[in-house]
Amino acid sequence: MIQDRSRLTTERPNPRSRDIDARSTRQIVDIINAEDHRVAPAVGRQGRQIAAAVDIIADCLRRGGRLFYVGAGTSGRLGVLDASECPPTFGVRRSMVQGIIAGGRAALVRSIEGAEDRAGDGVAAIDRKKVGHLDVVVGIAACGLTPFVRAAVQRARRRGARTVFVTCAPEAAQKNRAEVVINPVVGPEVVAGSTRMKAGTATKLVLNTMTTAAMIKLGKVHGNRMVDLRVTNDKLRDRAERIVMEMTGLGRGSVRRLLSRANGAVKVAVTMHFCNLDAVAARRLLRRYKDSLRAALARSGGAAPRKRASHG
């Protein structure tokens, strides 16, 4: 274990911002923006590791398992954020992707001092969720040393779960015993140690990529359309209608009636239209082809979705 945290890249002072407090407002903004430009390439260099994590996540979810993000502070909040967006975007049950944050729900809106240092709480959180061999646990810690997170990941391994670790500190990356370690090295922060900045941005990019890519592999996306979105508000209702209009060429009135019969499910509505089925049969067909709209239409003889809607 690293004892001297000053050795960590995430803690070192950044020479490019050493006199930032003496700069003009515009210069401050430009320095921060210049540092932010380092984030995406750093994440890109971890493409192989991220892809390996995606394959693990998709495999676990396909077999009925769950994805857990575990973090503290900013890292924990980013995990909870990404998990909370999966149900409306991809139509999955809320239990499929979950965020665990040190200090519990209260830590989402205010700092819970010391929560990240309680390794026992990390172990207890994993036990409480009954994590098992079908699940995957992603530990998130910018510095790579957070006791709550490290203990949770280690406990998950002992319980037979697959494990991934995301950290921005190369010094700690290989000291974390996880099946896949994702280590985007974004360099020292503009304000030394403020990992809510570049490290937080890198973490969000990694988490967004992992869940989005995994859901694509699970058939939640057709082309680049979210065909399993959950219609829970006017914006999503309009989006669902536009997707079906584009894919079928039907007018909005016809699409609304089709979606009504499909109980708002875009994928079911499209399958009903192209395969001339009722909702029950359409759902059955999709299940036969592992929820893949592309496979269901191709193998059942349904027509291919049109590239452009006809709004007449």
Q: What is the pLDDT of residues 62-110, one digit of tens each?
A: 999 999 999 999 999 999 999 999 999 999 999 999 999 999 999 999 8
Q: Looking at residue 117, what DSSP letter applies?
A: G
Rounded to the nearest integer, the mean pLDDT of the chain is 93
Query: Is 70 in the same domain as 154?
Result: yes
180-182/67-71 β-pairing: unpaired
Give the pLDDT score at 2: 58
Question: What's the CATH code of the domain at 111?
Answer: 3.40.50.10490
Catalytic residue among 11, 116, 171, 241: 116
Mark which of 185, 217, 249 sits at the end of a domain.
Answer: 217
**Which SS3 state, helix, strand or coil, does residue 180 take?**
strand
Mark which of 167, 184, 217 sits at the end of a domain.
Answer: 217
Give the pLDDT score at 176: 83
CB 72 within 8 A of CB 115: yes
Check if 179 is active-site. Answer: no
Q: Looking at residue 108, what DSSP letter applies?
A: G
Residue 53 lies in a domain: yes
Query: Is 207 in the same domain as 247?
Result: no
* Residue-range definition of the domain harbouring residue 273: 234-300
Return d(Cα 166, Cα 52) in angstroms, integer.
13
Helix (H) or strand (E) run with residue 99 in it: strand 97-101
Query: Is 206 in the same domain as 240?
Result: no
**Which SS3 state, helix, strand or coil, does residue 149 take?**
helix
Residue 310 lies in a domain: no
Mark which of 154, 182, 217 sits at the end of a domain.
Answer: 217
Number of H-type helices and E-type strands within the chain: 13, 5
Q: Tell whether the model's pLDDT for residue 139 goes beyond 50.
A: yes
**Strands of the 162-166 sheet, one edge to the other:** 97-101, 67-71, 136-140, 162-166, 180-182
Query: Is 172 in the same domain as 25?
Result: yes
Give the pLDDT score at 84: 96
- How does DSSP assign 227-259, residue by residue? TT----SHHHHHHHHHHHHHHH---HHHHHHHH
Return d(Cα 126, Cα 137) in angstroms, integer.
9
DSSP lists the bridge partners of residue 68 as: 98, 137
Return d(Cα 283, Cα 92) in angstroms, integer.
15
Q: Tell whether the model's pLDDT for residue 214 goes beyond 50.
A: yes
Check if 246 is active-site. Answer: no
Percentage of the chain surpassing pLDDT 70? 95
**Quick one: pLDDT band at residue 132, thresholds 50, 70, 90?**
very high
CB 77 within 8 A of CB 66: no
Q: Which two tokens stand for residue 268?
A: 């079911």
Query: Is 202 in the same domain as 238?
Result: no
Give the pLDDT score at 309: 41
- For tokens 């971890």, the residue is 46
Residues with Cβ within 8 Å of 120's Cβ and at least 6 positions away in sequence, in order, are: 151
Q: Which two tokens stand for residue 2?
A: 């690293």
CB 234 within 8 A of CB 244: no
